[in-house]
Amino acid sequence: MDPYENLSEDDHVAFLQLEKEFRNQMEMAQEDRNSDWSYLTADYMNKTLAAATHLEIGALSSFSVNTRDTDEHRENFNDFLRAVDNVIVQMRISNSRNRNAMSVGLTEAQKTKIHHFIEKIRVEVDSSTAPDAKKEKLYEMLAKLAEEVSKARTRYERFADLARSLAGLSADVEREGARPWWPWFEKIMGLLDDAKEAEPKLPKPPEIKRIEPPCKELPKPDGGYGSGRDLDDEIPF
């Protein structure tokens, strides 16, 4: 499967998709006893850094790939892997909060009312003079909406899809002045507004911070002239 197909338009989600694929490739290749650990880990780092650069994930920009020194590369890779895991956790938290902003949690009472209104819309659509093809499309959409309402959080996009379809259906029957489903749809939207208003307002998620590799400790200076002596001994006055 091509990892670059069906990538999300969201940069964070796309990075999560690609990094998971790159890591899986590395781990699967490492199962071969004859595999070159340095090559595989460097390849993973190179691909992940390329994805981060293109998707403007600046948190990893301080890392680079260098395999000339095996011990140094091992340390660099371990630091990089921890940094990637850190970024992934931050992204998942941020994405979860963003999804919550585009959805709403309904109480059981609100869900029951919306299911009732969905059924009312279905009955009105069924009794309309709209073409059968459009009716079938609406029935399918109403069924998906009912499933969505039953979830812990309901996405707004389902209601937007329904609104567009109902608008198209209304155009077919408005000559008769028949738009009996709109009052029920408006009642549904009123319940959504009430539910969203009751939710606590979350602050905007902070930007993902750049992660610096650990600073390497400088070697102690070699003992040279005067090493181990008191400086006062070297001053002739």
**Whether residue 190 sits in one domain with residue 113:** yes
Q: Does the pLDDT at position 218 exceed 80?
A: no
Same domain (yes/no): 62, 125: no
Confidence of residue 98 (pLDDT cuts 50, 70, 90): low
Quote the number of domains for the chain: 2
pLDDT surpasses 60 at 95 = yes
Residue 3 lies in a domain: no
Residue 135 banded pLDDT, cuts 50, 70, 90? confident
Residue 217 lies in a domain: no
pLDDT, tens digit (0-9, with 9 covering 90-100), for 34-48: 999 999 999 999 999
Q: What is the reported pLDDT for 174?
A: 55
Pick the more confident residue, 154 or 175.
154
pLDDT: is 69 or 169 the higher one? Answer: 69
Q: Does 232 map to a domain? A: no
Domain co-membership, 69 together with 132: no
Residue 92 shares a structural domain with residue 149 = no
Task: Judge if 91 and 108 occupy the same domain.
Answer: no
Q: At which of 80, 101, 122 does a domain end?
A: 101
* Residue 229 or residue 59, greater confidence: 59
Q: Is residue 19 part of a domain?
A: yes
Task: Report pTM.
Answer: 0.51
Distance CA(60)–CA(86), nearest Å, equals 10
DSSP H helical ranges for the chain? 11-29, 37-54, 70-101, 108-126, 132-149, 156-173, 182-198, 231-234
Q: Give the residue, 168 or 50, on which the prediction is more confident.
A: 50
Range of lowest pLDDT (12-16, 178-182, 233-237): 233-237
Residue 219 lies in a domain: no
Residue 230 has pLDDT above 90, yes or no: no
| Mean pLDDT, residues 100-124 taken together | 87
CA distances from 200 to 43, 124, 132, 204 (A): 44, 36, 43, 13
Do 184 and 169 belong together in one domain? yes
Report the C-alpha gap between 208 and 229 in whole angstroms. 50
Boundary-marking domain end, from 68, 101, 134: 101
Would you say residue 169 has pLDDT above 50?
yes
**pLDDT (average), residues 44-59:** 93
Residues 53 and 37 in one domain: yes
Query: In this predicted model, which residue has the larger pLDDT, 168 or 217?
Result: 168
State the Cα–Cα distance between residues 73 and 38, nearest whole angstrom. 8
Greater pLDDT, 110 or 193 = 110
Of 69, 101, 133, the last residue of a domain is 101
Its domain, for residue 97, covers: 11-101
Q: Which of 85-99, 117-131, 190-204 has the lowest mean pLDDT?
A: 190-204
Q: Does 202 have pLDDT greater than 80?
A: no
pLDDT recorded at residue 225? 45
- The four Cα atoms 43, 46, 50, 51 give a dihedral, to 10 degrees, of 50
Q: Indicate if 78 and 92 belong to the same structural domain.
A: yes
